[in-house]
Structures are given as structure tokens and as C-alpha cells.
Amino acid sequence: MTATLALIAHDRKKDELVDFVLQYQAIFSRYRLIATETTGQQIQQGTNLPIEQMLSGQQGGDIQIAAQVAEGEVLAVIFLIDPLFSKLHEPDIQVLQRICAIHNVPLAINIATAEAILEKLRHSRVAHLIFNPVAGSGNGNQDLSLIRQLLKPHMHLRVYQTTADESAEELTIKAIETHPDLIIASGGDGTISAVAGTLIGTQIPLGIIPRGTANAFAVALGIPLALTPIRSACQVIINGNTRVVDAAYCNQKPMILLAGIGYEAETIDKASRDMKEQWGALAYLIAGWKQLNEQQLFEAEIEIDHEVYQLTCAAITIANAAPPTSILAQGKGEVIFDDHLLDVTIGTINTNPQQLVNNPKLQAVTTMINMLGAALIKTSPDLPNVYHLRTSKIKVTANPPQKIVVDGEMIGTTPVEIECIPDGLTVFVPGNNGSPK
């Protein structure tokens, strides 16, 4: 069901409705509220709750609310009527009564029936969905309709759609202020990361419905993506199995996946939106292959636990979580996302200069194949030109300065400082057997 409540009151009942909303403000604050104009103004003044105001009852505001009921946008209607002294200009309950009866929507006409509705709402789950309509290559409207269809029977769902003027972070902050039971992010890794980053430390569970190109965080958590990813992800949320995982901050910005310095950042930068729309995940492989010919070595200064190390590198990847397909994060064959540590993988120059000169691309490809294989079987690749370590905090400076990509988004250039946030997020995940229970 949608998370919207409609409020109307005859003139002599408006103060009574304001007092009622004030009494149950903690519950009302979790829902989108709509009301006829004068009623909405008085409730907003008396409670400071945001109210979407329709026209006045005299001008047809009750008809506007009835239309939203008919469209399935209203969870319940509270219409405090004055049976003895109602005036001719006040809205008639008959239209709303008929529409609510047709669409099986609860309608309260006095405080006693309103309390019954509120008591039921007290025990209901309220979910806020942050939805990116332009994510992936599918039809956003169809995806949203399917998500509503799958989740509405199990929770009261309030939907926010990202726009050019309102980001996923801003919408998540709005959602947090209403104290929801869970927040769901639907989009690519950028949208998922933005919502998750805003939720760090809040203990509000995060549901993930991946609709992007790589969907790396969903893969890292084991959320099934084959055949029907939206249905599978929704079922994971419905099942309600959660897990506490780590998060991180990179240059004070939230990070849930990984930071890439050097080769990976250049590869992401080369994979344009047009490439991703045309080739999907293959766009990263195409861009990465091109970058093999262009990647330059750089001098890196790495500070860990007040110790400073100097290395000549082609790539540095610092991961909080990563799927096997994030090859450059697999220095140990597996990134552990709840060990309170960051996985640092450093690709250096080959110890055999002649091999580097003769066929650098072959060497790079061989290294990546070995790292992918190690990730799939979760063993260390044990390569002479790949170093791995785990730490809770790291600082990297590069000469010349290198581009940095964080969770698939370019954020600038080095230096960079990254710190793990232990147990920073609660996420919905499949059952222990890797599939929804």
C-alpha cells in the first residue's frame, strides 16, 4: 500500500483533528499527508508536519482526495464530520464514502474509528523508496510499477524519484527525518552508494534493488541478479534477513565499495554513458583494454599506521566491499566486507624489466586473469607484481597526481585518505544459502 494518509474535517471538527494529529504525531510523521486547504493549514500550524494541501472543501478538495483514492495513492482517509451542524459549503462525505468503499480504503468519520486506523498503522512497516528513473537501459516506469506491485502487499511504500534538482542524498535525508522502518535504493551503483552513504550510522536497514550497469554492491552482498533481478531483489527485502556490514569514508565522502587510483580510475573515466548503454558491463572491459596501452606508472607514497612506504605503481585499489568482477581489488582473492578493515591491492612494475618491455599488455592481461580466477575460488593469486594488505586507515599521495574513482564516480585526484567505518550499515541480504529464504 502507498504511504499516504488523507485528512479532512468540517469546520467545528478542525481543532479536534489538529489535537488528534498532535497526539499521534510520531505515527503521522512517517507518512505523506494530504488535506483540504484550510484543514491542512491548521494541522501544519499546530504540528509543524508537512501537509500537501488540496483545494478547499468548498472548491472541490474532497474530490481531489477521492481521485487519489481511486488511483490507489491513499492508504486511509480520516474525515471528521459534524453530523449535527455541518454547513452547506462544507464537503459532503458521500463521494468519499462511495470511493473508499469501492477501493476498500479505510475511512474514519470520528476519533474512535481514527484511533483504530492509527493503532493498525503503529504495527505496520513503512518503507521509503529512493528511485532513479533513468538508471540502466530498461523502462523506468515499468520498473517502478513492478516494484510497487511486489512490495505494496508487504509494507506501506513511499516513493521518491531523483531529479536534476533533487539528488539521492537529499531525498534520503528527507526520508530519514520521518523515521522509516527501512529505506530502499533502486538504481545503479551511484544511486545505491549515495543512499547507503547517507544511511551510515543511522541503523536504518537498506534494501537494494539494482538496475544499473555493474550492480557491484548487490553482487558483493550476494543479491541474485540472474533472469529477474527486480523480483529477486524485492524478495530479499520482503524476507527481511539483514546483515551488518562495514562502510568507509574517502576524503570525508561516504564509500561503500572501493576507491580506484590510476588504471581503474582511468578505465571508469573512459567508459562513457553511451558506451554503457550500448555494451552494458562490457563497456568497462572495452575501456580497460584501451587503457592498457596508455597507462603510465606513477610514484606512490602510502601511509599506514604512521609508517610511510614508497612504491612505483600502475594501480592502487582500496576496497570496503567488491564482487569478484572488481578484479583489481582481489589481491587476496576475496574482499571481506565485515572485518572492520579495508583491502588494499597495489599493482607495481614487473620485477623482470625485459618482460615489461617485450609485452606489457600480455603481462597485464595475465595478471588480471590470475586475479579473477583467485577471486572466483577465493584464494590468494600470489603474484610477484601484486601486493595486498588490510588496514583500517590509509593515505595515498601520488606523483604525478592520479585520478580517483569512488563507487564508480570520479571525485578528483590524489592525495586521498580513506578510513573504515566498522558496522556502518545494515543491509537486506539473502539467506545463508545464498538465495532468499
Domain 4-122, classified CATH 3.40.50.1380, yes or no = yes
Q: Specify the CATH number for 258-420; select among 1.10.940.10, 3.40.1000.10, 3.30.950.10, 2.60.200.40.
A: 2.60.200.40
| Cell output for 335 | 574482499
* Same-fold call for 4-122 versus 126-246: yes
Distances (CA, A) of 113 to 9, 20, 191, 369: 14, 12, 41, 66
Decide: 335 and 344 in contact? Cβ < 8 Å.
no
Joined grid coordinates for residue 177:
527525518
* Rounded (5°) CA angle 347-412-308: 45
Residues 12 and 85 sit within 8 Å (Cβ to Cβ) = yes
User: Given 11, 15, 19, 62, which residue is catalytic?
Assistant: 62
- Measured CA to CA, the distance from residue 221 to residue 209 in angstroms comes to 12
120 among the known binding-site residues? Answer: no
pLDDT of residue 271: 63
Residue 124 among known ligand-binding residues: no
Is pTM beyond 0.75 here? yes
Q: Are 193 and 407 in contact (CB under 8 A)?
A: yes
Looking at residue 71, its amino acid is E
Say if CB 32 and CB 52 are below 8 A apart: yes
Give the number of other CB atoms < 10 A from CB of residue 107: 19
DSSP 123: T
For the chain, 437 residues long, give each residue's pLDDT as a single digit of tens.
478 999 999 989 999 999 999 999 999 998 999 999 999 999 999 999 999 999 998 888 999 999 999 998 899 999 999 887 767 667 778 889 999 999 999 999 999 999 999 999 988 899 999 999 998 778 999 999 999 999 988 999 999 999 999 999 999 999 999 899 999 999 998 899 999 999 999 999 999 999 987 888 999 999 988 778 999 999 999 999 999 999 999 999 999 999 988 876 767 666 656 655 665 555 555 555 565 666 678 899 999 988 999 988 878 889 999 887 676 777 667 788 999 999 998 877 554 444 444 544 445 444 544 444 444 445 566 656 778 889 999 999 999 999 888 988 888 999 999 999 999 999 999 986 443 33
Q: Phi, psi at residue 254, to the nearest 5°?
A: -60, 145
Q: 126-246, superfamily in CATH?
A: Probable inorganic polyphosphate/atp-NAD kinase; domain 1 (3.40.50.10330)
Look up 62 and say whether it is catalytic: yes
128 marked as binding residue: no
Whether residue 14 is annotated as binding a ligand: the answer is yes
Give the residue extent of every domain in the chain: 4-122, 126-246, 258-420
One-letter amino acid at 88 equals: L
pLDDT at residue 260 in the model: 87
Residue 388 marked as a ligand binder: no
HSE of 82 in the Cβ direction (CA atoms, 13 Å)? Answer: 18
pLDDT of residue 79: 96
What is the widest separation between alpha-carbon atoms in the chain? 98
Alpha helices in 123-222 (DSSP H): 140-151, 168-177, 189-199, 216-221
Give the pLDDT score at 36. Answer: 94
In angstroms, the CA 205 to CA 237 distance is: 10
pLDDT of residue 17: 96
